[in-house]
Amino acid sequence: MNNTQRAVLIRRHGGAEAAEVAGIDIPQPGEGQVLIRVLAAGVNGIDWKVREGQVRNAFPLPLPIILGAEMAGVVVAAGSGASRFHAGDRVMGAMGGLGAYAEFVAINEASLSPTPEGLGDVHAAGIPVAAVAAWNSLHHAGSLYEGQRILIHGAAGGLGAYAVQFAKRAGAEVFATAGPADLDFVRGLGADHVIDYQSQRFEDVARNINLVLDYVGGDVLDRSWQVLAADGVITGTTSPDILSRKPANRRGLWFMNKPDPVLLETLAKEVASGTLQSRIGGIVGFADLPDAIERHRTVSRTGKVVADFSR
């Protein structure tokens, strides 16, 4: 095996030009780690936010840094003390940080889940961050209950599409915002009230909401306080300043996801069996990753964009 590999990294913070494809050394697996040949990786908002330096105060990261938060691939070798997976095993997982945009990654085997039979690597690579984050953000404010009124912003996106399905399973009455091209898709996920954010104001449709999941941010967060019931709460994933933006008589929570390989294994099996819908919104090649990162920042898309490393 050659000792060098391709990776998408940044050496400085900046715009689209800051992300580059570069040659770097292939890592060696350390104690408890396995070396993975990455076959596909999901594109996430954290990529361009790190690229632009938006999170460097909250999460100082040494440069250069390889981007990419989730991947799927095959085990090549195991380090000392690693025994859960063996060469040839198909695995998937979130990095618990960054580093997935490389042809080989060394990662703690405890962070990984087996890729279930029937689930391709490209599809698997788009699941670890969004599915787990959707489940955990939905439960972040407390237990769900029958008849709970839940408003999900960005319901056609990577997190939102999962959250709609999870909320309906819990017996909630689901209000969901989406663009005009995605209304039928979101209805198909089970949403009770689908709101076209381009032609309708969600404030005119959603009232007395017990839980708002804000996967959009901006003025959507500011407008959402007025739709809450007296006991309502907003859980936000895109607005770290949510606490400083909430009115005095309202409740808001900031959510940061953490990898959960046990939960991921369960959800991935559901996707493989068809009991949980998971939609890939686009597939790009490895060399196209810098452009895909920028498009994630500027273009709204249904489903998850995934890089197929074989392209």
Domain boundaries, the chain: 4-130+258-308, 141-254
Helix (H, G, I), strand (E, B), or coil: what is residue 67? Answer: coil
Q: How far is CA 275 from the centre of its chain?
A: 19
Residue 240: the pLDDT is 83
Q: What span, in angstroms and rounded, lies between the C-alpha atoms of 74 and 70? A: 14
Q: Give the architecture-level CATH label for domain 4-130+258-308.
A: Alpha-Beta Complex (3.90)
Residue 1: the pLDDT is 61
State the amino acid at position 296 in one-letter form. H
Residue 126: the pLDDT is 96
Per CATH, 4-130+258-308 and 141-254 having the same topology is answered no
The interaxial angle of helices 289-298 and 45-52, nearest 10 deg, is: 90
For 274, what's the count of Cα atoms within 13 Å in the CB-facing half-sphere? 1
Structure tokens at 246: 């909430």
Q: Kindly provide the b/e burial profile for residues 76-93, where b requires at least 16 CB atoms within 10 angstroms of the residue's own CB.
A: bbbbeebeebeeebbbbb
Residue 211: the pLDDT is 98
Whether residue 38 contacts residue 105, with contact meaning beta carbons closer than 8 Å, is answered with yes
163 burial (CB, 10 Å; 0-12 / 13-18 / 19+) is buried
Whether residue 55 contacts residue 49, with contact meaning beta carbons closer than 8 Å, is answered with yes
CATH number for the region 141-254 comes to 3.40.50.720
Structure tokens at 53: 């330096």
Residue 7: the pLDDT is 98
Residue 55: the pLDDT is 79
DSSP, res 203: G
Q: What span, in angstroms and rounded, lies between the C-alpha atoms of 158 and 149? A: 21
Could you tell me how many residues make up the chain? 311
Alpha helices in the chain (DSSP H): 45-52, 121-125, 128-139, 158-169, 183-189, 219-224, 242-245, 261-273, 289-298
The list of the chain residues with pLDDT below 50 reads none
Q: What span, in angstroms and rounded, lies between the C-alpha atoms of 243 and 222? A: 11
